[in-house]
């Protein structure tokens, strides 16, 4: 497999300087890449960022400046949206700045969406019942599972019988009954069939949306195409044609509007597409070793930082930045982290099979950069092995700034040590 997959969005000298300044491991994001991805989706009436992909408040603010609104899937994500300046409520004719999407409502989140008048995209009928009981009139979307799905991995396929997500399509009449009987206000219909969809499934989901809308005997204002747009993680992967993508959904929207006799608002809810290619994980090579036929480069980032390879066998391009600019011979290399767990390997396929990547021979002190790590990188990080969360830096043209500082071990321990007694 070739090395250096795609050009880095940030110059290597700059990455070296940032690594010196902030230490490694380190997330670095490029603001211009995010702005360009937002611009590519401007044909949609509303772009709603699925912040689970990257919920850094400073990136949410950047989104907001560009006219993007947000989706939240937890109380924490609602608080992040509020901290970034998004507001609840649904001003007439304008898309709500925050929508809460989930398959259940815990008590604290239920109270918050009511207090802040945040529309709820309901993935279960129980959510509708609970919301309707405490706040008749609350604005709701219906997230429907159309009976099929697609994803880059089984774990990111959110449609079909095996998926816990959404209201099963056959249960639509029951959901509408609850809306009617509790007095909730239906805003729109939503489908998200998975992450990493292809055009074939896209056409299928557009048709399913049109058929679904025809079965809804209540007024609706909007439809949401969900997210799921893929990005080219590997050299040669196709880049999604956003005009074509919009065209398919626009046709579905027009059909629904024609049948209902009024305009229908079209939302898109991408996560990965907006941020993946802007983000890099910069790590340092701290050890190399040969284990039988395998040559390992061990870096100071682990799957607690970037979980995607271990979780899905996901591929991230890797660039090596030699510490001394020397020419290095190429060498099949297994890139792994510091965690006390065999699965802490960045070069692996689905099912955990360890793979080698053709890389320049790594030496201790080299920097190693994981590409396309801006989505589901920092947001899926954990404190496993009692490792603190690592810093995030946003590069914007000539400027760069720390947008999350490194967590300290003291902060980690404080959750336990601060208890009285
Ligand atoms: N809307 C809903 C309701 C979703 O559940 C998701 C993703 C999105 C939008 C955004 O999907 P995107 O445009 O980013 O594909 N951790 C996995 C992806 C899980 C996606 C979960 N839901 C990964 O690293 O690939």
Q: Which residues are annotated as a binding site for substrate?
A: 272, 308, 312, 341, 376
Answer yes or no: do 154 and 288 share one domain: no
Answer yes or no: do 385 and 240 share one domain: no
- The two beta strands, 399-404 and 392-396, are antiparallel
Q: Give rounded-to-5 percent helix, strand, coil for the chain.
A: 35, 25, 45
Residue 3: band (very low, low, confident or very high) from pLDDT cuts 50, 70, 90: low
pLDDT in tens, 48-80: 999 999 999 999 999 999 999 999 999 999 999
DSSP string, 222-279: EEE---------STTPPPP-HHHHHHHHHHHHHHHHHHHTS--EEEE--SHHHHGGGE
Average pLDDT, stretch 36-45?
A: 98
The answer, yes or no, to whether any atom of ligand 1 lies below 6 A from the CB of 377, is no
From the candidates 107, 238, 340, 417, give the one annotated as an active-site residue: 340
Domain membership of residue 191 as a residue range: 42-269
pLDDT in tens, 194-247: 888 777 788 899 999 999 999 999 999 999 999 999 999 999 998 999 999 999
DSSP string, 329-390: -EEEEEEE-SSSSTT-BSSB-GGG-B--EEEEPP-TT-EEEESS-SSSSGGG---GGGPPPP
Looking at residue 51, the DSSP 8-state letter turns out to be: G
Told to judge if 206 belongs to the known catalytic residues of this protein, a careful annotator would answer no
Ligand 1 centre from 90 Cα, in Å? 24
Ligand 1 centre from 151 Cα, in Å? 9
220/263 Cα distance (integer angstroms): 10
Percent pLDDT > 90 in the chain is 88
- Kindly state whether residue 22 falls inside one of the protein's structural domains: no
Per residue in 161-197, is it b (16+ CB within 10 Å) or e — as a string?
eebebbbbbebbeebbebbeebebebbbbbbbbbbbb
403/59 Cα distance (integer angstroms): 8
Ligand 1 atom index nearest CA of 143? 3
Could you tell which of 164, 272, 350, 375 is best to mutate to test the pocket of ligand 1, judged by most ligand atoms within 8 Å of the CB?
A: 272
Question: Residue 360 has what pLDDT?
Answer: 97
pLDDT in tens, 331-376: 999 999 999 999 999 999 988 999 999 999 999 999 999 999 999 9
Residue 47 C-beta-side C-alpha neighbours within 13 Å: 27
Average pLDDT, stretch 284-292?
A: 97
pLDDT in tens, 135-162: 999 999 999 999 988 888 888 888 889 9
Q: What is the ipTM of this complex?
A: 0.99
Residue 35: band (very low, low, confident or very high) from pLDDT cuts 50, 70, 90: very high
Answer yes or no: do 243 and 314 share one domain: no
Answer yes or no: do 304 and 265 share one domain: no
Q: Which residue's CA is the nearest one to ligand 1's atom 3?
A: 192
Domain end position, chosen among 243, 269, 295? 269
Q: Which residue's CA is the nearest one to ligand 1's atom 8?
A: 227
Answer yes or no: do 191 and 309 share one domain: no
Domain end position, chosen among 232, 248, 269? 269
CATH number at residue 281: 2.40.37.10
Answer yes or no: do 216 and 105 share one domain: yes
- Kindly state whether residue 11 falls inside one of the protein's structural domains: no
In this model, does residue 304 exceed pLDDT 50? yes
- Kindly state whether residue 153 falls inside one of the protein's structural domains: yes
Average pLDDT, stretch 306-330?
A: 95
Q: Which residues are annotated as a binding site for pyridoxal 5'-phosphate?
A: 228, 269-272, 376
The answer, yes or no, to whether any atom of ligand 1 lies below 6 A from the CB of 156, is yes
Rounded to the nearest integer, the mean pLDDT of the chain is 95
The answer, yes or no, to whether any atom of ligand 1 lies below 6 A from the CB of 227, is yes
- The two beta strands, 330-336 and 357-360, are antiparallel
The total of structural domains in the chain comes to 2
pTM of the complete model: 0.97
Domain end position, chosen among 251, 269, 287? 269
Question: Residue 392 has what pLDDT?
Answer: 99
Ligand 1 centre from 286 Cα, in Å? 33
CATH number at residue 66: 3.20.20.10
Residue 1: band (very low, low, confident or very high) from pLDDT cuts 50, 70, 90: very low
């Amino acid at each position: 497999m070739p090395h250096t997959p795609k050009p880095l969005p940030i110059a290597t000298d700059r990455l070296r300087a940032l690594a010196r300044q902030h230490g490694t491991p380190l997330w670095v994001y490029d603001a211009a890449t995010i702005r360009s991805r937002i611009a590519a989706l401007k044909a949609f009436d509303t772009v709603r960022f699925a912040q689970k992909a990257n919920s850094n408040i400073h990136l949410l603010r950047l989104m907001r400046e560009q006219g993007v609104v947000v989706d939240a899937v937890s109380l924490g994500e609602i608080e992040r949206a509020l901290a970034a300046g998004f507001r609840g409520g649904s001003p007439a004719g304008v898309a709500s700045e925050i929508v809460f999407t989930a398959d259940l409502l815990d008590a604290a989140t239920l109270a918050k969406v009511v207090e802040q008048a945040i529309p709820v995209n309901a993935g279960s009928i129980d959510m509708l019942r609970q919301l309707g009981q405490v706040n008749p009139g609350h604005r709701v979307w219906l997230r429907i599972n159309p009976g099929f799905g697609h994803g880059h991995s089984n774990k990111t396929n959110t449609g079909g019988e095996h998926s816990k997500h959404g209201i099963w399509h056959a249960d639509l009449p029951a959901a509408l009954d609850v809306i009617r009987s509790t007095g909730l206000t239906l805003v729109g219909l939503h489908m998200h069939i998975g992450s990493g969809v292809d055009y074939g499934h896209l056409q299928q989901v557009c048709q399913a949306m049109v058929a679904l809308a025809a079965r809804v005997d209540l007024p609706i204002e909007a439809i949401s195409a969900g997210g799921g747009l893929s990005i080219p993680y590997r050299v040669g992967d196709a880049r999604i044609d956003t005009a074509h993508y919009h065209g398919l959904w626009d046709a579905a929207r027009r059909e629904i509007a024609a049948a209902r006799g009024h305009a229908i608002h079209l939302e898109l809810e991408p996560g990965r597409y907006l941020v993946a290619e802007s983000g890099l994980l910069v790590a340092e090579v701290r050890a190399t070793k040969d284990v039988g036929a395998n040559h390992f480069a061990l870096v100071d980032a682990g799957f607690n930082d970037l979980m995607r390879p271990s979780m899905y066998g996901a591929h991230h391009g890797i660039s090596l930045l030699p510490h001394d600019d020397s020419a290095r011979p190429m060498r099949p290399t297994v890139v792994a982290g510091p965690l006390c767990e065999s699965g802490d390997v960045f070069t692996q396929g689905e099912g955990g099979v360890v793979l080698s990547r053709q890389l320049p021979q790594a030496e201790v002190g080299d920097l190693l950069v994981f590409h396309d790590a801006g989505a589901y990188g920092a947001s899926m990080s954990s404190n496993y092995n009692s490792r603190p969360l690592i810093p995030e830096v946003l590069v914007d043209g000539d400027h760069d700034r720390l947008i999350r500082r490194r967590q300290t071990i003291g902060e980690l321990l404080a959750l336990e040590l601060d208890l009285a007694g």
